[in-house]
Amino acid sequence: MRYISTRGGIAPIRFKDAVMMGLADDGGLLLPESIPTFSDTDLESWRGLSYSQLAFEIISRYVDDIPAADLRRLIDRSYATFSHPEVTPVVRQDGVHILELFHGATLAFKDVALQFLGNLFEYILAERNERLTIVAATSGDTGSAAIHGVRGKQGISIFVMHPEGKTSPVQAMQMTTVLDENVHNIAIEGTFDDCQGIVKALMNDLPFKQRHRLGAVNSINWARVLAQVVYYVYAWLKVAGPAQKVLFSVPTGNFGDIFAGYVAWQMGLPVQQLLLATNENNILTRFINKGDYSIGQVVQTVSPSMDIQVASNFERYLYYLFNGDTVRVGAVFEQLKKEGRIHFADDELARVRRDFCSASVNRVQTLATIGNFYKETGYLLDPHTAVGVKAARDLAAGSTPVVCLATAHPAKFGEAVQEATGQAVPLPPVIQRLSGLPTRCALLPADQQQVRAFIEQRMA
């Protein structure tokens, strides 16, 4: 399997090189040259598999430069860290199936991909006798999942900047209580955008980037998408009969998670449609429902991990929408840069609406959904999951099974859940254990020179 760029500017590369490249060198995103498929018979033969066994069946179709036994070991090790024996169990509540993706180290779905990516990095770096320095900005979920994905790993150092005092207390503790020598937390006196700006400045400083072998862990890495394909298939096997179509409702920010569902569908999974659920940051909903892809201001919501206007993984979908026309992909992103919007042809929009339906769910609706769902079922939804559940309530019809992706544990966003239900959220043991633990975190001003000096000093 070879990997190409959505912008068509790189020679095809193999899986391990794609993992290490992250963003394609021509500024595009990496994709497999073709999507491998499976048949209904394959699917039926997978019904009894464990999560790890299924993950191997799917992932191995995209990887031909890691020996099978090694790949199995990497996958097994990644999912052994989950607290639930099924890794991503499906529970049925009030007519919908909830796919619980929050049983990993930091209680959000990002653990599914970042545990695997951390192990992959370590394996590839050891083989090549190389080092990697990850520099990341986070509003909470990505940073904590990345830290737990690479803590204690050989050959990797990680620097994570978060805006001081602006993550939830649980998110901050999940990051700063990690004392492994290769983990460096930096609280920045500023906003998330300041943190992101510093990361960009460091990445654009090529001598600095090369000296420290800087790498990124955001959801543009193909291995993250690939790991997420697995749970769509896993959920389907739990809820559907042979060849039965399913609708997946996916609370969406960067389009990474829902794009993994699109890949699962292209591989052969019987999918009715993908429901793209957004909060008030609804550029993707406006696009699907009105054909209007124009960037607005980021609004703060009760589902902060979806507070995004430019969804980086959307480019991967556009590559397929434009039938692999890499020149057109490059051109529309030029248009977006110049005009702040992309124009689509009517036949393209018709195809988008076959693939996706969409709804935007506001704060009041989100909190009401959490409150009502709790009253009716006793089950607590986190605010991100509630956005997907509400959208499914509004748009799903008929007898098609509906699977709502539960992207975070309710305790991770306990304040909003408490506001909605009037009750404190019981803390799971992995969070209880954190309080009172020693922490380590540097506090720096929003100044790239000072962050650069800090990294130089720690890496010396």
Per-residue x/- track, 262-301, ligand PLP (CB under 6 A): ----------------------------------------
Q: Which of 249, 305, 366, 421 binds ligand PLP (CB under 6 A)?
A: 305
Minimum distance, C-beta of residue 148 to ligand PLP, in the bound complex (Å): 13
Give dist(CA 390, CA 363) in Å, integer.
Answer: 11
In sequence order, which residues have a C-beta less than 8 Å from that of residue 277 and are 6 or more positions away?
A: 249, 250, 251, 252, 358, 359, 360, 361, 387, 388, 390, 391, 392
Residue 187 tokens, joined: 């609280």
Residue 457's CB: how many other CB atoms inside 10 A? 8
Pick 157 or 279: Cβ nearer ligand PLP:
279
**Interaction of residue 141 with ligand PLP, rule CB under 6 A:** yes
Tell me how far, at minimum, the Cβ of 160 lies from ligand PLP, in Å: 15
Cα separation, 161 vs 154, in Å, equals: 21
Shortest spacing between CB 320 and ligand PLP, in angstroms = 17
Q: From the CB of 335, what's the least distance to ligand PLP, in Å?
A: 23
Tell the smallest beta-carbon distance from residue 292 to ligand PLP (Å). 19
Which positions from 240 through 259 interact with ligand PLP, judged by CB under 6 A? 251-257
Residues 96-115 contacting ligand PLP, CB under 6 A: 108, 110
Cα distance between residue 268 and residue 231, in whole Å: 14
- Of the candidates 210, 209, 162, the one whose C-alpha atom is nearest the C-alpha of residue 186 is 162
Q: Which is nearer to ligand PLP, 52 or 138 (CB)?
A: 138
Among 7, 162, 384, 393, binds ligand PLP (CB under 6 A): 384
Nearer to ligand PLP, 384 or 390 (CB): 384
Longest dimension (CA), the chain: 62
Residue (123 or 232) nearer to ligand PLP, CB:
232
Contact 358, 289 (CB under 8 A): yes
Amino acid at 64: D
* Catalytic (active-site) positions: 110
Q: Which amino acid is at 46?
A: W
When asked if residue 219 is in the footprint of ligand PLP (CB under 6 A), the reply is yes
Kindly tell me which of 108 and 186 has the beta carbon lying closer to ligand PLP. Answer: 108
Of 158 and 455, the one with the shorter C-beta distance to ligand PLP is: 158
122 near ligand PLP (CB under 6 A): no
What's the min distance (Å) between Cβ of 141 and ligand PLP?
A: 3
Closest CA to 30 of 10, 58, 51, 50: 10
Tell the smallest beta-carbon distance from residue 252 to ligand PLP (Å). 4
Q: Please, which of residues 43-72 interact with ligand PLP by CB under 6 A?
A: none
Question: Binding to ligand PLP by residue 306, rule CB under 6 A?
Answer: yes
The residues near 294 (Cβ < 8 Å, ≥ 6 apart) are 283, 286, 340, 341
Does the footprint of ligand PLP cover residue 366 (CB under 6 A)?
A: no
User: Is position 176 an interface residue for ligand PLP (rule: CB under 6 A)?
Assistant: no
Nearer to ligand PLP, 219 or 221 (CB): 219
Q: Find the binding residues for ligand PLP in span 407-436 (CB under 6 A).
A: 407-408
Residues that bind ligand PLP (CB under 6 A): 108, 110, 141, 219, 251-257, 305-306, 384, 407-408
